[in-house]
Structures are given as C-alpha cells and as structure tokens.
Structure 1
Amino acid sequence: MQIEVPSLGSRSIFSKAERIDSYLRVLNALMLRDMRTRFAGSYWGYLVQVLWPVAHMFIIACAMTFRHVPPPFGDSTMVFAATGAIPALAFQYISREIMKGILTNKPLTYYPQVRTLDVMFSRVLVEIVSSFLGVMLIFSVLMAFGLNPIPIDPVTAICGYLCAIALGIGAGTINVAIVQVFPGWMLGYIGIGILLYMASGVLFMPSELPEQIYDYMKWNPVLQLVEWVRLGYDPSLPITIDYVYLFLWVFCTLTLGLTLERTIGRRGGA
C-alpha cells in the first residue's frame, strides 16, 4: 500500500490558498465592523449612510421649489438635484470615510494579520457598495414620483460617476497619510469638503456664470465630475470636460497617497 506524500508544489498551493482565505476573512471582518459602528452601533444605522444622498436630493429640490427656481435643464428639479448630488457625494463620502476608517480601526493594525492597506481597502469596498445602493434608492424614488432617471447617454453619466469614485479613493489615500501624522486634519477636511460641495455646481449650473468666473471654477475637479454626469442627461449643454485633467487628478492623488502611506507606515512600524 502506497501513501502519497504531498509534493512541495502542492504545499505551496495549499499555503497560498490559506493566505487568500485568511485575507478574505480579515476583509470580511473589517467590512462588518465598519457597517456596524457607523451609527448607534447597529447594522440598522448603516441605512442612514445609504439614505443621505436621498435626503440631499430632497433638500435641494425643496429649496429650489420653495424659491420658485426652475431646473436649469430638463423638466424635473429632483432629477437636476440628483445629477449634482450623486457624483459630488460619491467623491466626498469615499474620500472622508477612508480617513475615518483608519482612525476608527487603528488599534486593529497592531495585529500582524491586519495592515493599514487592509483597513483602507475594506472601507473602500463598503463605501462603493453604499454609493451604489444610494444610487439605486434615488432611482427608485424618482420612478415612484413618475420621473425618468435614466440618462440620455448612460455611458457618459456612468463614466462620470465612476471617475468620481476613483477620485474619492485617491483623495482618501492622501487623507489617510495626513491624518496619521495630524489627527486634527479630520475636522479640517470636513470644512474643505463643504466648500468643495458648495463650489461644485450641485445647486446651480456653473456654465451660466460669467466666463471668467467659470474658467476659474473649472480648476475644481469635482465640478467637472458633476458636469460630466449632467452631460449624460443633456448632451446639448454648453459644457466641455477636460478628461485628461481629471485622469491626472485620479492618477496623481492615488500615486501620492499610496506613496505617503507606505512611507509613513514604515516609519510607524519602526
């Protein structure tokens, strides 16, 4: 009777599979912990995160209706509000929550199985899922009101939305590096986020402003992301998107953030 002894190659396969399984377990635990600790230490509190974009849309629509301001394009104030709130909030929440995830889960990084990148990646996954759920909920609400939330050019609108997520991840990695050195940056970035939100054309059409002011405002990449999504709803809008400029923002922020995190992480480990 012969007994088969696992070869060295099979052992390496088993060990690699075990490492992958262990990594997935760590990510799963971090994601569940993030969802549970958002609001009131309950999974039900996670729904608040998903409902925020809907609340923003209603607030903007109600304010414009109360002031008797017609939508700058299309026939629906709610659709106009949604086209601005969705990309702006996708960027804002992801870039901010990645940073908050590091502060919340910092003690977990003292375990050898958990790295800072694991915490960042788990928070990114949670925020992307939350953002998608928020979009689906907004679409459901708009359809319930008898409105059509489907863009004329879906590819353009989806690409603008995905670029907002990518820029949020890039800015979030930079925030992670900064907040590990200056924890007070958390409050500072909240203030910056509010200014960016107000200056990104969520509440108005920047292209209707004087040309000199509009040219300066377009240096804000979030404004161009909002316009990119709105261009998918009305291709006739007098809007020109600098795609190279936005892609450079995404690439540079992600590269700089990962480089800073790696440098700071090594110093912290030392």
Structure 2
Amino acid sequence: MAEPIRFRRHPLGRWPGLRTLRALILREMATSYGRSPGGFLWTVLEPVGGIALLTVIFSLAVRVPPMGTSFALFYATGLLPFLMFLDVSRKIAQSLSFSKQLLFYPGVTFTDAIFARLVLACVVHALVFTIVLFGIVIYDQVDVILDLPAVVTAFALAATLGLGTGCMNCFLMRRFPVWANVWSIATRPLFLLSCIFMPFDSVPTGFRDVLWYNPIIHIVGMNRSAFYPTYRADYVDPVYVLLIAAILFALGLSLLFKWHRDLVLR
C-alpha cells in the first residue's frame, strides 16, 4: 500500500508574524529599490556624493583633516551614522502611510509595518557602511585599526534612536499633518550641530555643554573612536542615547496603539 504524501511545513509556518514581516520586507524592497533606475545604487551614491563634496571644500580650506590623514574618512565616520539616523526615522515615520492599504488585513499590524521598514533600513545601511568605508580605505590607502564592536555599537545606537524618533513622528505626522513641516525645519540645523565637520572636543566649552545633549553627537563620537584609536571620546554616553530612544519609542508606540485605527483612516 502506497504511503500517503506528506507536505513539509514551511519553516515560517508556525510563526505567522514572521511570514508577514518577510512579505512586508520584500514589498518594501520591490517598491523602494526595484522601480527606480539604479535602485540601491542611489542609496550608496548619496553619502558618497556628500563625502566627496565635503572633502573637496574643506581640503581647499585647510591642509590636514581634524583627525588622521584622510578627509574622506573623517567626514564619512560622521556623515554615515547621521544619514542612517535620518533615514531610519523617516522611513518609520511613514510606516502607516506606506502600508495603509495592507493594514486593513487582519493578519497585518502597524508594528509589522514598522519593524519591516526598520529591518530593511538596517540591512541597507550596513551595506552602505561597508561599501563606502571600505572604498575610502582602499582609495586613500589609509591604515586603519578598526574597533569593530564600537562600530556595531554606533550602528545600533543610530538604528535605535531612529526607531524611537520615527515611532513618535509616525503618530505626530498622522495626527497633526503640520508636524511634518515643523520637523523638516527643526532637523536642518542638525547637520551643523552633530559634529560632522569637527570633533566635539574642538567646540568651545560653553557651547559644548549644551551640544552634549544632542544624542547624535554621542553616536558620531562612538563611530569615530572606532576608526581613530588615539581619539578618546570620553564624552560619549550610550546609556543617554538609549534612554532618549526608549522614551520616544515607548511614548510613540503607546500613542499608536491607542490611535492607529483612526490614523489609518485619515
């Protein structure tokens, strides 16, 4: 007697939430990188163009970079985590708008949409970090003693702060549409106030005490300390960054849990 045919269960079959997350990530990939010419290439070219511009401008003004021998490496170590924070927070803030139609299905929740965008953004920026920094090291022939745990910590802090800020903005931008314009204006000075152009230690003392409360300063300092062994970033406090991120995430998520049904209908 022939044995009955047995179908193997899909590895994610027991975890419907993971299947939903995977489907949302694939949709995000197809939408964000599959429809435009160049796709992922533009994600790499954006920081490369910014770093190249900063390198040209400041190399004409000063002879040596503030740290090391490579202008490009110095600006990359500050610009890449900054751009990651902005991109992660922006993508998560747009989660409800981006997945609005899918949220009407019972198997899809707004937290699935948030974490799908977070996972994909982290993977993309990990690739960008690797490609850009490796390219600079090869092109400028820089001898780097890399502190990999510090790089991973800076990367994780940027992702966590982006998650918390994005969750809070996700609620505010859907509940109060004018907040999108307010946030856009408020974040423009961050490019100048996040020590991308100069080390935190070179900022005047009076202004430095105020600037310390910008959590991005700590992320940039952590990342730079990973590439410059002689740079002592004693001012960096990862716990402070995590505390800010946790407060924003908890507050934003609690507001979304309460209002997400009304916000999706807007």
Scaled by the length of structure 1, the TM-score of the pair is: 0.84
Q: Which of 248, 257, 265 is matched with 1:262 structurally?
A: 257
Select between 145-154 and 127-136 the one with higher mean Cα deviation. Answer: 145-154
Select between 90-99 and 185-194 the one with higher mean Cα deviation. Answer: 185-194
Q: 1:151/1:198 Cα in 2 relative to 1: closer, same or farther (>3 Å)? A: farther
1:159 and 2:153 correspond? yes
Q: Is the 8 A contact 1:174 1:253 kept in 2?
A: yes
Shift of 1:146: 4.0
**Counterpart mapping for 1:57-136 below 5 A:** 57-68=51-62, 70-136=64-130
Q: Which of 236, 248, 251 is matched with 2:243 structurally?
A: 248
Q: Going by fraction, where is helix more abundant, 1 or 2?
A: 1
Shift of 1:164: 1.3
Letter in 2 for 1:118: D
Q: 1:35/1:50 Cα in 2 relative to 1: closer, same or farther (>3 Å)? A: farther
Q: 1:268/1:172 Cα in 2 relative to 1: closer, same or farther (>3 Å)? A: closer
In 1, Cα distance between the equivalents of 2:188 and 2:117?
Answer: 21
Q: Is the 8 A contact 2:66 2:198 kept in 1?
A: yes
Deviations 1:212-235 (A, max 9, x none): 011111110101211121122234
- Counterpart of 1:222 in structure 2 is 216
1:203 and 2:197 correspond? yes
Secondary structure of the residue aligned to 1:187 is helix
Q: Is the 8 A contact 1:160 1:225 kept in 2?
A: yes
Percent identity, aligned pairs only, is 27
Letter in 2 for 1:53: P
Shift of 1:85: 0.8
- Counterpart of 2:165 in structure 1 is 171
- Counterpart of 2:5 in structure 1 is none
Scaled by the length of structure 2, the TM-score of the pair is: 0.85
Shift of 1:71: 0.8
Select between 117-126 and 233-242 the one with higher mean Cα deviation. Answer: 233-242
In 2, Cα distance between the equivalents of 1:104 and 1:235?
Answer: 42
Letter in 1 for 2:157: C
1:30 and 2:24 correspond? yes
Q: Is the 8 A contact 2:89 2:165 kept in 1?
A: yes
Q: Is the 8 A contact 1:152 1:233 kept in 2?
A: yes
In structure 1, the gaps of 5 or more residues are: 2-13
1:50 and 2:44 correspond? yes
Q: Is the 8 A contact 1:94 1:168 kept in 2?
A: yes
In 2, Cα distance between the equivalents of 1:25 and 1:149?
Answer: 44
Letter in 1 for 2:86: Q
Select between 86-95 and 106-115 the one with higher mean Cα deviation. Answer: 106-115
Q: Is the 8 A contact 1:95 1:171 kept in 2?
A: yes
Q: 1:195/1:214 Cα in 2 relative to 1: closer, same or farther (>3 Å)? A: same
Letter in 1 for 2:258: T
Letter in 1 for 2:87: Y
